[in-house]
Chain A
Amino acid sequence: MSNAVSALNGKVAPGEVTIREDGLRGMITLRADLADSKVKSVCTGLSGVDFPMPGHANCVGDKGLCWMSPDEMLILVPYAEVEAALELINKNLKKKHFLAENVSDARALILVEGSYARDVIAKLAPVDLHPDVFGPGDFRRSHLGQVAAAFWMRDADTFEVICFRSVAEYTFGLLEASAQAGPVGHF
């Protein structure tokens, strides 16, 4: 798999808020009964983080769990570990009704880093991003401009954004233009 490349091959738009495609990341869509203890333990075992509440994401480094819907979890692992993770899921949930698919290549992961990263996202998404309402740990699926996207905060100044691979260039362009236009200073 040495010939695998991410959608934008690590493209960077530097600035006071920097937009950076984060390269390859392992992502698994798991659809299952999230209340099931076996499902929970597979998720936490693979990612090493606590099982998230609805509307939340728990991420540490390359690993994490993002709550996508009442029956869908997005499991983040290093890109090279996806196949092994899928095998583990298939083995552990063998007797359950579930679906686990590798979606690492179907998505792009873009970082928005800098002092007014919050403003950059607020220019594009119809989401309340006030620090009292949205902070590290919160996870939101919505749209940026005209495409579906999900985002969460790595820290107070960094958003991680995922979008579909085919629109990575458009999404990066939106974020880049919004970052270059400068802060709004609303929050």
Chain B
Amino acid sequence: MLILHCPYCGVDADETDLHAGGQAHLKREGPGSSDEDFEDYLFLRANPKGVHFERWRHVYGCGKWFHAARCTATLQVFGTYPAQTLEPPQDIKDKIADARPGWSWGDKE
């Protein structure tokens, strides 16, 4: 049972207050995209044992979606941040790189 810090309302929210929304930082493929890109967007998801970026909604709280950087094996949370971004903030990337030597955002999944 996770606790995640909601970056919008500041609450350390119990998992029962949250709704999980799968992998974060997907790029939407709309009309005109290739079949391969569209398939990738629609169906193909990372399933790492290790660092992962996820979407969560503080559904019973402020209702906002946010992102969490989390280790799927140890459940360590490197940080949470607002969803209105294309990649995690630098301080979280640094924290992950410190904790998981060799990791970098470029080869995220």
Give chain A's interface residues, CB within 8 Å of chain B: 54-55, 68-70, 72, 126-127, 140-143, 148
Give chain B's interface residues, CB within 8 Å of chain A: 8-11, 14, 16-17, 60-64
Give the 5 A-B CB pairs with smallest separation, nearest first. Answer: A69-B62, A126-B14, A143-B60, A141-B61, A148-B60
Majority-rule SS of B interface residues:
loop
Q: A69-B63, A143-B16 are in contact. List 6 more A-B contacts (CB 8 A).
A: A69-B8, A69-B9, A72-B63, A141-B9, A141-B62, A142-B17
Nearest residue (CB) in B for A128 is B12
Residue in contact with A126 in the complex, picked from B17, B62, B64, CB distance below 8 Å: B17
Given contacts A54-B9, A55-B9, contact A68 B62 (CB under 8 A): yes
Do residues B9 and A70 form an inter-chain contact, with CB atoms below 8 A? yes
Do residues B8 and A70 form an inter-chain contact, with CB atoms below 8 A? yes
Do residues B16 and A126 form an inter-chain contact, with CB atoms below 8 A? yes
Do residues B10 and A54 form an inter-chain contact, with CB atoms below 8 A? yes
Cα A142 to Cα B17 in complex, Å, equals: 6
Nearest residue (CB) in A for B3 is A126
Nearest residue (CB) in B for A143 is B60
Give the Cβ gap from A29 to chain B, nearest Cβ, in Å: 11
Chain B residues with Cβ under 8 A from A126's Cβ?
Answer: 14, 16-17
Nearest residue (CB) in B for A70 is B8
Do residues B62 and A70 form an inter-chain contact, with CB atoms below 8 A? yes
